[in-house]
A and B are shown apart, each in its own frame.
Chain A
Amino acid sequence: MKKYRLTALIFIGLLFSLFWAFPVPAPADEDIPKKFFVAPPPFSEGIFPCSQCHKGMPVNRTPRKLEQMHQDIVLRHMPGGWCFDCHNPNNRDTLRLANGNVVQFEESYNLCGQCHGTVLRDWKMGIHGKRTGMWNGEKQYLLCVHCHWPHDPKFKSIKPLPPPIQPSDIR
């Protein structure tokens, strides 16, 4: 039996190496390609986690104009909508989809994608929005909210950089 122990060991070793050589493929993740990461959500200073204030606070589901806090946020998006259409009243550290599913802030693109599905599709392909990094490797995506503030998403105009010098002014 002893002379077979070595053979058995080698056989088992081979089996193991095969297991590592041919890994079981991960379940098809059609959402985001694996080779990038999304930058963390651009929270204002100290605002997150929201539960530090909202923990234990009573929930008022009446659509109204806020007075005591967050009154500076004027919603210019989704006419007729208000806070709890996107924010999760039961847990302010998360967001919610139209069907009630909870979504993390780090994956807020799924929330935007409910209405802006074509844009989400383009964003996943890399055609929408700014990406930095390697064209043949790791890329850094930005969340929708990095460029479009969800409460007033329209791009503000910016100051352009100077025009080129006229050729007649080049000496």
Chain B
Amino acid sequence: MASLIKNFFIAVRQIFIGNTKYYLWVGFLLFLILLGGSAYMSQAQRGLIITGMRDQVSWGFYISNFTFLVGVAAAAVLLVVPAYLYNFKPIKEIVLFGELLAITAISMCLLFVMIDMGQPLRGWHILPFIGAMNFPASLLAWDVLVLNGYLAINTCIAFYVLYRLSIGKEYKMSVIGPLIILSIPWAVSIHTVTAFLYNGLSARPFWNASILAPRFLASAFCSGPAIMLILFQIIRKVFKDVDIDDRAIFKIAELIAYAMAINLFLLGAETFEVFYSGTIHEYPMQYLYFGLHGKAKLVPYIWFATFLNVTAFLLFLLPKTRENYTTLNMACVFVIIGVYIEKGMGLVIPGFVPDPLGEIYEYGPTTPEVLVTIGVWATGALIYTLLLKFAIPIYTGKLRFVTKGQEGYRSPAP
């Protein structure tokens, strides 16, 4: 046990060793974090009034980012973890990076929730037994449980696999098999619970539609893998000894195409139901796409996002553009931006417009709000960077903790 802890810290030391580019990157991220941190200090002092949120639109940019990132976390695992089970080797090798992304995304989600709270120091009130968790009535209580459980599962799987690799052994299926089996429905559930959070509110007709949970999952399957594709290419380039097969990337791209098809179909279905029936419940969607009573702040953004999504869909669909790295990366960026807008602000804000008493308040994030958000994203990037820096030497075999003559030691392939 003592040697395990010692070895862990030796591995952790990796994050302090790197080339100039690494230090520059980490330095840049730390700068952004400091920027966000100082903006958050002013929020902690004055209160959330420094954001653009008011009583009429009581959730905004922070929760939009949270929603987007829960999708990324779900998809990161859902796409690759089954590889453990169906043995598609090209994907099997990259599962670890997906899991690390899931850990990062969940950490960012937790951060976004914490900075959105009016009284973050009272966060312990939400815990069961110590606090007064409102389980099972409150969906937020469910969300706390499933998100933290998901973080725990992924941390366990990732670190167990790394531990086994670090001592030169294969992971034991009997150990992580159950966790993997658990993580697949759990990944679905984190995003379903987040969708139900919105879905269950009878006060908000824009969200109170059964299509919300399927749409969440479909858009998560677009944005999460797209982020992963970009990250994998960066990992391939930066860590030259990590080999990620092209086939894995193209397979994932193909899956994104199907997910986007479903997402666009569900969007069409929602649009039809809202506009054809033409009840007053169409007002939120009308606000989003066309403006309501002259208020049209979100209109250009959502059309831009829709255009990006449709274009990306076509680029992912056609094998020619899918297997060309230029168009592929373009499509990935399009999807990420498109889903970020559509599922972030494009979901949260129209739920509050018009408010329950018919008022329209046009919300837009303020500068401190954006700075804090950038700080959280930078924190996430830093977490992922440090995790990679910790994991990749073990993954590639450069870092091993073995004694000569150890039983079962398998030297890494040259």
Contact = CB atoms under 8 A, between A and B. Distances in A.
10 contacts: A167-B54, A167-B55, A167-B56, A167-B361, A168-B54, A168-B361, A168-B362, A170-B49, A170-B54, A171-B49
Interface in B54-75: 54-56
B287 to A, nearest CB: 16
Nearest to A167: B54
A168 B56 CA distance: 10
Interface in A149-171: 167-168, 170-171
A168 B295 CA distance: 13
Nearest to B56: A167
Contacts of A168: 54, 361-362
Interface string B332-370: 000000000000000000000000000001100000000
Residue in A167, A168, A170, A171 with the greatest tally of chain B CB atoms within 10 Å: A167
Nearest to B57: A167
A171 B53 CA distance: 11
Interface in A118-171: 167-168, 170-171
Interface of B: 49, 54-56, 361-362
Contacts of A167: 54-56, 361
Residue in A168, A170, A171 with the greatest tally of chain B CB atoms within 10 Å: A168
- Top 4 closest pairs, chain A to chain B, by CB: A167-B54, A167-B361, A167-B56, A170-B54
Contacts of B54: 167-168, 170
- Interface size class of chain A, counting residues whose CB lies under 8 Å from the partner chain: under 10
A30 to B, nearest CB: 43
Contacts of B55: 167
Given A168-B361, A168-B362, 8 more contacts: A167-B54, A167-B55, A167-B56, A167-B361, A168-B54, A170-B49, A170-B54, A171-B49
Contacts of B361: 167-168
A115 B195 CA distance: 61
Nearest to A166: B361
Contacts of B56: 167
Contacts of A171: 49
B373 to A, nearest CB: 21
A138 B301 CA distance: 61
A167 B361 CA distance: 7
Contacts of B362: 168
B278 to A, nearest CB: 29
A73 B362 CA distance: 53
A170 B49 CA distance: 8
A171 B362 CA distance: 15
A170 B362 CA distance: 13
A168 to B, nearest CB: 7
A144 to B, nearest CB: 35
Interface string A59-86: 0000000000000000000000000000
Nearest to A168: B361
Nearest to A170: B54
A170 B363 CA distance: 13
B84 to A, nearest CB: 50
A37 B56 CA distance: 44
Interface string A21-39: 0000000000000000000
Contacts of B49: 170-171
A171 B49 CA distance: 7
A163 to B, nearest CB: 12
B372 to A, nearest CB: 18
A113 B362 CA distance: 52
A5 B109 CA distance: 93
A160 to B, nearest CB: 18
A171 B54 CA distance: 10
A139 B362 CA distance: 46
A94 B56 CA distance: 57
Nearest to B50: A171
A168 B54 CA distance: 8
A107 B55 CA distance: 49
A147 B116 CA distance: 50
A167 B352 CA distance: 14
A64 to B, nearest CB: 54
Nearest to B364: A168
Nearest to A171: B49
A21 to B, nearest CB: 51
B56 to A, nearest CB: 5
A168 B362 CA distance: 8
A171 B368 CA distance: 13
A167 B362 CA distance: 9
Residue in B49, B54, B55, B362 with the greatest tally of chain A CB atoms within 10 Å: B54
B59 to A, nearest CB: 14
A95 B386 CA distance: 93
B207 to A, nearest CB: 21
A133 to B, nearest CB: 31
A56 B122 CA distance: 81
A167 B60 CA distance: 14
Nearest to B361: A167
A12 to B, nearest CB: 64
A167 B54 CA distance: 6
A68 B92 CA distance: 108
B68 to A, nearest CB: 25
A167 B295 CA distance: 15
